[in-house]
Structure 1
């Protein structure tokens, strides 16, 4: 099963379907290419994936699919200077 080791040491597995640590997203412009009834597989193919570490909340974004290394994003502080609570 494919996995990624987060900088915090947590191993994130992403082979499970559905995967609780994988999130899918699509840009607004890419989404606007679809209209009316659409094929779910076509929409899925236009999406990118990111993994969210369940331990430290880092995001690992796969901008170019799973064959390229992901880009790491760290959670920041909220507008009040406090770290926001973890959300699913």
Structure 2
């Protein structure tokens, strides 16, 4: 089973992405500024984070088989950012 991180999951487009992923037997993780008020389905693992704080993305990334954050994001996660990240 795939495990995917969705950023912007509490927005209108992000909620649609989450719903479609759940329909495909995917473990969905969502990044939210306030997990307590995210209002996402029970099946979603909601993690605290903010796109303006890049370290939160690494902590929220699906773990690798070795147990650490994924270093292969294009194969293991999907991001639907609502704003661009600064390099």
Which TM-score bucket, shorter chain as reference? under 0.3
TM-score (structure 2 length as normaliser): 0.26
Greater share of strand residues, 1 or 2?
A: 1
Greater share of helix residues, 1 or 2?
A: 2
Structure with larger RCO (C-alpha < 8 A, sep 6+): 2
